């Protein structure tokens, strides 16, 4: 009896040891959920279309791990900005969620927290990328921006095209195919007392999307790509003249915008074309997902295409999720990242988000006509321009804010703080050739 009791004790201790070691696996290679049956997921996706797409990722995870309670922390926030503020506070208080949404431009902020290289708030994910085969499943340009100091730090779920034009098909039955046709259409709509372009001008980043789409369309994608990557000599008269021409086109188009542009967020501006208050909208194609959440059908109610004249360039950004160092439910977070990086979750997510999947095994044959067209545009583009790594290089721009410096100036221009000539002067004074 004593031998049996001793055997049971040893067996129990051995079982505990095995389970404890299992919880310490770093690459998440197992498919069984261990530890606490919960995971906290943080993002700023709270708008229509975005929230549903995030839920699709969560649903894909819980389908594989039904015993885990997935807590969508972003659903508790009033909006995306409130969610970001809540995340900042939690990280500052050393109370991180298990995983959270971020863009590659944000990596340095978290890996070198508050400028301290010794304070890394994220875990590297190299083992996960290797075990899941993502090194060959994801496009090289996407893989490039997921690294910091040689290690992968986040799992991508999509590519969003930024140079996207959405239009009300009742107001624009035949879309323009060139930049000249686009400007002619805008003037024609204006003459009919129809607002040609819905605009959100409450922040610089929305204006920046419009400006760079116009630059690519009116001055050519090669020029835009060279300008944005810091490859041009802006003291050269020809290069400067092209910039001034793009800015003039931008100003003309902005004169056709809705009068309340400064009061609207991007989603409210997108809704204007559904209401028929405006005809067209230039923005990232996450707005497609938002319009679909309003019960609007792509290819029937609204069209989606590259901004006319920029068809040969696919300007995109990437949405990702990272693993927090010190995550309370670490293994569940690794399992979540594994699921959302795979084709099943990305198919469900991108259908709702309006974006392009990064995993090569996603089958888009049953997607709507607009989605399939965007994927085809990505495949056919001669310039794949990732805004997370190529940035407008100016003296006061940092890796953290990327091209935001120009966005700030465009916001000042729209607000009447500076003139067009002053913006040109700022560019010629601050633009520097990229050195990396």
DSSP H helices in 220-265:
221-228, 237-254
Q: Say if residue 431's pLDDT is above 90.
A: no
* 35-160+317-371 and 161-316+380-430 agree in CATH topology: yes
Place of tokens 């890996």: 111
Q: Is the pLDDT of residue 128 over 70?
A: yes
Sheet-wide strand order for 278-283? 195-198, 278-283, 164-168, 302-306
Residue 411's Cβ-count burial label (10 Å; 0-12, 13-18, 19+) is buried
pLDDT band at residue 189 using 50, 70 and 90 as cut-offs: very high
CA distances from 158 to 61, 62, 91, 154, 241 (A): 17, 20, 25, 12, 36
Evaluated on CA atoms 165, 170, 174, 178, the torsion sign reads negative
What's the CA gap between 365 and 270, in Å, rounded?
27
Question: In this model, does residue 435 exceed pLDDT 60?
Answer: no
Q: What is the mean pLDDT of the chain?
A: 87
pLDDT tops 80 at residue 227: yes
- In whole angstroms, give the CA distance from residue 217 to residue 245: 11
The model's confidence at residue 77, banded by pLDDT at 50, 70 and 90, is low
Verdict on whether the full-model pTM lies above 0.75? yes
End-to-end CA distance of the chain: 73
Cα 125 from Cα 155, distance rounded (Å): 8
Task: Give the containing element (helix H, strand E) for 333.
Answer: helix 330-340
What CATH topology corresponds to 35-160+317-371?
Answer: D-Maltodextrin-Binding Protein; domain 2 (3.40.190)
For residue 436, the cross-strand partners are: none
Tokens 């230039």 correspond to 282
How many angstroms separate the CA atoms of 277 and 266, rounded?
A: 15
Structure tokens given for 45: 């996706």
Percent above pLDDT 70 for the chain: 86
Query: How many CB atoms neighbour CB 75 within 10 A?
Result: 15
* Lowest model confidence (mean pLDDT) among 57-61, 80-84, 189-193, 331-335: 80-84
What does each C-alpha distance from 312 to 8, 230, 382, 385 come to in angstroms? 69, 20, 5, 11
Indicate whether 15 pLDDT > 60. Answer: no
- Architecture label for domain 161-316+380-430: 3-Layer(aba) Sandwich (3.40)
Nearest to 344 by CA among 332, 328, 329, 361: 361
Strand runs (DSSP E) across 21-176, as ranges? Answer: 38-42, 69-72, 99-102, 147-148, 151-152, 155-161, 164-168
Instruction: Express each pLDDT in 19-39 by its tens digit.
Output: 333 333 333 334 444 457 999
What is the tens place of the pLDDT at every residue in 236-263? 999 999 999 999 999 999 999 999 999 9
For residues 77 and 80, what is the distance between their CA atoms, to the nearest angstrom? 7
What are the structural domain ranges in the chain? 35-160+317-371, 161-316+380-430
């Amino acid at each position: 009896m004593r031998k049996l009791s001793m055997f049971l004790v040893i067996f129990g201790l051995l079982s505990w040891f095995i389970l404890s070691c299992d919880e310490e696996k770093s690459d998440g290679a197992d498919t069984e959920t261990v530890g606490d049956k919960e995971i906290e997921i943080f993002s700023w996706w709270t708008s229509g279309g975005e929230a549903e797409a995030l839920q699709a990722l969560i649903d894909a995870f819980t389908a594989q791990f039904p015993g885990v309670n997935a807590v969508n922390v972003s659903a508790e926030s009033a909006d995306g900005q409130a969610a970001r503020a809540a995340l900042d506070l939690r990280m500052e208080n050393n109370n991180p969620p298990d995983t959270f949404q971020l863009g590659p431009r944000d990596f340095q902020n978290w890996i070198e927290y508050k400028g301290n290289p010794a304070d890394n708030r994220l875990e590297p994910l190299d083992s996960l990328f290797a075990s899941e085969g993502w090194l060959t499943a994801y496009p090289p340009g996407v893989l490039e921006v997921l690294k910091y100091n040689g290690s992968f730090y986040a799992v991508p779920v999509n590519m969003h095209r930024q140079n996207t034009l959405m239009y009300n098909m009742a107001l624009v039955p035949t879309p323009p195919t060139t930049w000249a046709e686009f400007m002619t259409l805008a003037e024609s709509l204006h003459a009919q007392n129809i607002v040609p372009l819905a605009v959100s001008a409450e922040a610089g980043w929305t204006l920046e999307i419009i400006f760079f789409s116009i630059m690519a369309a009116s001055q050519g994608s090669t020029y835009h790509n060279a300008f944005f990557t810091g490859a041009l000599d802006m003291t050269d008269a020809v290069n400067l003249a092209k910039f001034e021409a793009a800015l003039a086109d931008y100003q003309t188009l902005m004169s056709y915008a809705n009068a309340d542009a400064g009061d609207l967020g991007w989603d409210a501006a997108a809704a204007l074309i559904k209401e028929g208050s405006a005809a067209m909208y230039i923005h990232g194609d996450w707005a497609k997902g938002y319009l679909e959440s309003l019960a609007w059908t792509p290819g029937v109610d609204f069209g989606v295409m590259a901004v006319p004249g920029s068809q040969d360039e696919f300007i995109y950004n990437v949405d990702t999720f990272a693993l927090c160092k010190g995550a309370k439910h670490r293994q569940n977070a690794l399992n979540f990242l594994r699921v959302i990086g795979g084709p099943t979750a990305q198919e469900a997510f991108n259908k709702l988000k309006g974006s392009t999947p990064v995993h090569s095994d996603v089958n888009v044959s049953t997607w709507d006509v607009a989605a399939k067209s965007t994927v085809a545009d990505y495949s056919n583009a001669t310039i794949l321009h990732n805004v997370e790594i190529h940035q407008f290089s100016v003296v006061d721009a940092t890796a953290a804010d990327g091209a935001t410096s120009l966005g700030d100036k465009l916001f000042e221009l729209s607000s009447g703080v500076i003139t067009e000539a002053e913006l040109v002067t700022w560019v010629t004074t601050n633009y520097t050739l990229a050195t990396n």
